[in-house]
């Protein structure tokens, strides 16, 4: 790699974008791996750094889209590396999206199963009217709020 002092402004910007994209790709890949392994708590370790880098990435990509000349003068090799890094980033984002969707489906299924089990164990009301709750309700201290979408 060439010394940063010898790089053109475009080469330096592209090199920084490559480093940013590769770091963000690595963090998101780690999160996807954690979700795939059903360990979302491990994915949470990198949330703060990922959010910061994602914000910088969003800002820088918008800047480049608004002024392509910022990277156009970079060497073809550096531009190719940036394209490859961006393609890898897109692939990891798609992988993470699938992993999160799968985790969401599993979690919703578990919540639904717990809610159904709790509902099945609650005493059934007998009769009608204000006094028809039955003794089972007076002794039932279960406090839970269920959403039908769960």
What confidence tens digit (pLDDT) does each residue in 57-98 have?
999 999 999 998 888 889 999 999 999 999 999 999 999 999
32: in domain: yes
How many folded domains does the chain comprise? 1
Measuring CA to CA, which residue among 27, 33, 12, 28 is closest to residue 82? Answer: 12
Question: Quick check: 28 pLDDT over 80?
Answer: yes
Query: Is residue 2, in this structure, part of any structural domain at all?
Result: no
Q: What is the DSSP string of 37-55?
A: TT-HHHHGGGHHHHHHHHH
Is residue 78 in a domain?
yes
Domain span including residue 103: 9-121
Q: Identify whether 139 is part of a domain.
A: no
Q: What is the pTM of this model?
A: 0.70
User: For position 46, which CATH number holds?
Assistant: 1.20.58
């Amino acid at each position: 790699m060439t010394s940063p002092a010898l790089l053109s402004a475009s080469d330096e910007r592209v090199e920084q974008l490559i480093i940013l994209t590769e770091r963000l790709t690595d963090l998101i890949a780690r999160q996807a791996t954690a979700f795939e392994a059903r360990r979302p708590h491990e994915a949470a370790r990198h949330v703060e750094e990922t959010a910061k880098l994602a914000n910088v990435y969003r800002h820088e990509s918008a800047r480049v889209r608004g002024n392509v000349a910022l990277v156009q003068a970079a060497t073809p090799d550096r531009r190719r590396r940036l394209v490859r890094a961006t393609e890898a980033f897109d692939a990891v984002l798609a992988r993470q999206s699938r992993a999160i969707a799968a985790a969401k489906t599993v979690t919703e299924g578990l919540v639904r199963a717990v809610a159904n089990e709790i509902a099945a164990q609650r005493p059934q009301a007998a009769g009608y009217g204000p006094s028809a709750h039955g003794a089972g309700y007076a002794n039932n201290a279960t406090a839970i709020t269920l959403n039908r979408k769960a």
